[in-house]
Amino acid sequence: MKPDQGVILYGPPASGKDTVTTALTGLNSEYSQFTRLKVGAGKSAGYRMGTAEQLHKLEAAGDIVYANARYGNTYVIDRPGVDAAFATGVPVVHLGQVDGIRALVDGYPADWSVVLLWCPREVTAQRSEGRGDSDTEARLVAWDATREDLDKHPGTSWDLTIDTTEAAPQAAARLIDQLLAQRAGAATA
């Protein structure tokens, strides 16, 4: 892998972004989930919790690559955070908006591999309930928004598409790892 490679996992809630990322890190410790800055309340695991003041400072410095609001919180991909993630390996960024993919690919120069992880709505419901989410209905609303987002952006290009009802997390991780190895080989050839 090249030092400037990153992975973007796009998909609806419970499509397997966390599970596939865990499988990726098990396959190669260079992979690590990018921890977005979260301003708000609720689940803190997997996030760098921040304040409105931090958000304003990042905005003033022009260091917000992408921000979105969901579940009553603001989630931020910030330049200093992405810099730190690349300094330690290959960041795996989770996104649920095509605009976020475009903002990251266009706003942070790197060799980004964009992967669509997909599962049907009823599978999102089953997985969400199975893992004990207290906000399954909100996750289904987000699934609907993801489907609408895809419909609004029919020309979106994916480097890899994986149906997580058919591919086990380890198999998905191997496919992603192979994609990055191929891209690194092509870049050095």
pLDDT in tens, 68-85: 998 789 999 999 999 999
Q: According to the CATH classification, is domain 5-183 in 3.30.70.1230? A: no
Q: Where are the domains of the chain?
A: 5-183
CA-based torsion, 114, 90, 66, 47: positive or negative: positive
| Residue 3 pLDDT > 70 | no
Inter-residue contact 92 to 35 (CB < 8 Å)? no
Count of helix runs (H) and strand runs (E) in the chain: 7, 9
Token readout for 65 is 């690559």
Q: Sort residue 40 into left (φ over 0), alpha (ψ -120 to 50) or beta.
A: left
The band of 185, judged by pLDDT with boundaries at 50, 70 and 90, is confident
pLDDT cut 90: percent of the chain above it: 87
Q: How confident is the model over 39-66, as a mean pLDDT? A: 94
CA-based torsion, 18, 21, 23, 25: positive or negative: negative
Alpha helix stretches (DSSP H) within 11-135: 17-27, 52-61, 79-88, 98-107, 121-130
Report the mean per-residue pLDDT for the chain: 94
